[in-house]
A = this chain, B = another copy of it.
Amino acid sequence: MTDLPERVEIIEEGPREGFQSEPPGIATRDKIRLIEALAETGLRHITCASFVSPKLLPQMADAEQIAEGLHQKQDVEYGALWLNDSGFRRAQATGLSLRPVLFASASDTFLLKNNNRTPDRSLTEQMAMRGLYDEAGLGRSPLYIFTAFGCNYEGSVPVDKVLAAIERLISGLADLGQKPSEICLCDTIGAANPTLVRRVIGAVRDRWPDLPIALHLHDTRGLGLANAAAGLDLGVSRFDSSIGGLGGCPFAGNRAAAGNIATEELVFLCEEMGVDTGVDLEQTIAVATLAEQIVGHPLPGRIMKAGSLKPFRARAAEVAQ
- How many copies of this chain? 2
Contact B272 A193 (CB under 8 A): yes
Q: Known contacts A265-B223, A269-B226: does B312 contact A254 (CB below 8 Å)?
A: no
A317 CB-CB contact with B under 8 Å: yes
Chain B minimum-CB-distance residue to A197: B229
* Main secondary structure on A side of the interface with B: loop
Collect the chain B residues with CB atoms within 8 Å of residue A222's CB.
225, 262, 265, 268-269, 301-303
Collect the chain B residues with CB atoms within 8 Å of residue A303's CB.
220-222
Collect the chain B residues with CB atoms within 8 Å of residue A226's CB.
225-226, 228-229, 269
A209 CB-CB contact with B under 8 Å: no
Contact A312 B229 (CB under 8 A): no
Q: Number of A interface residues, CB 8 Å?
A: 59
Contact B254 A219 (CB under 8 A): no
Collect the chain B residues with CB atoms within 8 Å of residue A2's CB.
195
8 Å CB interface, A11-59 against B: none
* A313 vs B156: C-alpha distance when bound (angstroms): 6
CB distance from A170 to the nearest CB of B (A): 27
* A1 vs B230: C-alpha distance when bound (angstroms): 11
8 Å CB interface, A101-135 against B: none
Q: Known contacts A156-B316, A229-B230, A316-B155: does B150 contact A221 (CB below 8 Å)?
A: no
* A307 vs B155: C-alpha distance when bound (angstroms): 13
Q: Known contacts A198-B1, A222-B265, A225-B226: does B316 contact A254 (CB below 8 Å)?
A: no
Instruction: Give the most central of A153, A258, A274, A316: most B CB within 10 Å.
Output: A316
Contact A316 B153 (CB under 8 A): yes
Q: Which of B196, B198, B268, B306 contacts A254 (CB 8 A)?
A: B306
8 Å CB interface, A283-321 against B: 298, 300-303, 305-309, 312-317
Which residues does A use to contact B, with CB under 8 Å?
Answer: 1-2, 4, 150-156, 189-191, 193-196, 198, 219-223, 225-226, 228-230, 233, 249, 252-254, 256-258, 262, 265, 268-269, 272-274, 298, 300-303, 305-309, 312-317
List 6 A–B pairs whose Cβ atoms lie within 8 Å, in order of A's numbering.
A150-B312, A155-B312, A156-B309, A193-B268, A221-B309, A223-B272
